[in-house]
Amino acid sequence: MPDIFEAVVPFSRERMSTEQMCRMILDSGQVELRDIAAGELPFEYSASKPGDLRFGPGYILIKALVGQDEGFFPLVNQLAWRIVDAGLQFDAICGNVSGGMIPGYLLKLYLTYIWRKPVRYIYAREMRKAHGSREMLVGVDNNPSIQDGMVFGDLEELVNNAQTTCNAALTLRAAGFRCEHALTILDYDNVDARARRADIGLTQISLVTLPELLARAREVRRWPDEVIDDYLSYLDGPAAWRERNMDAIQRAIQEKEQEAHHA
């Protein structure tokens, strides 16, 4: 008889290769790159405060995979094995609002099943601006299963500049928990993110990095080499990329303002 968990939740003990996982993400339809040199406008990323110019040449919507069972379940399943194979142990998982909430809960289920012990779950809200207080951690208070000193892994489905991830880790620490590892499906692995994590002693566990994804995209000729190279240059220095492409950013801002005016 199959285990009841495996009868309900897609589960595999096989480890997928990086190439397989990259192909799965590329084939999801949730990866888009723009040719800025040819006149296309850059994407605007979420800003932590008004006036921040968070723009870049590509956009990847990992959170949208919740609607694609053939990609969502295997990737979270593989993240669970990545944690196990790294020899890590967590008492609980914290999912970051919004994109980390559902994969975070599914990860908790996978780890509970693999480890054959309870793994708790909470979620962190409003982590974009700055690390918050205990009330930003939903599921903690008046919950006897959540104890001070518990070891948390903080999950975000995609990490770009790592600000939200670091804010959540600091919030967990301030609330009396241990959080030394951030978990994600896709890590941009840009220089700013690496610096932020290093500053607070946070280790990133990821399934795929953006350079790995772009290497696979180049192999299958998904986009022209120069478009991929531009995205890689963004990872080497987001601020320098924005400075080089300020004209395109200003055009994107103007177009957004015009759309809002005519709405």
Q: What is the pLDDT of residues 50-63, one digit of tens each?
A: 566 789 999 999 99
- Model confidence pLDDT, tens digit, residues 161-205: 899 999 999 999 999 999 999 999 999 998 999 999 999 999 999
pLDDT of 54: 86
CATH T-level topology, domain 4-262: Rossmann fold (3.40.50)
Residue type (1 letter), 246: M
pLDDT of 262: 80
Question: Is 18 within 8 Å of 212 (Cβ atoms)?
Answer: yes
Question: Is 72 within 8 Å of 65 (Cβ atoms)?
Answer: yes
Above 90 in pLDDT, residue 48?
no
Nearest of 144, 156, 174, 7 to residue 79 by alpha carbon? 156
Above 90 in pLDDT, residue 135?
no
Above 80 in pLDDT, residue 87?
yes
pLDDT of 47: 59
- Label residue 260 by pLDDT band (50, 70, 90): confident
pLDDT of 1: 39
Gyration radius of the chain's alpha carbons: 19
Interatomic CA distance for residues 169 and 98, integer angstroms: 16
* Entry pTM: 0.92
Eight-class DSSP state of 89: -
Above 80 in pLDDT, residue 133?
no
pLDDT of 78: 98
Question: Is 123 within 8 Å of 139 (Cβ atoms)?
Answer: yes
- Label residue 134 by pLDDT band (50, 70, 90): confident
In percent, how much of the chain has pLDDT > 90? 85
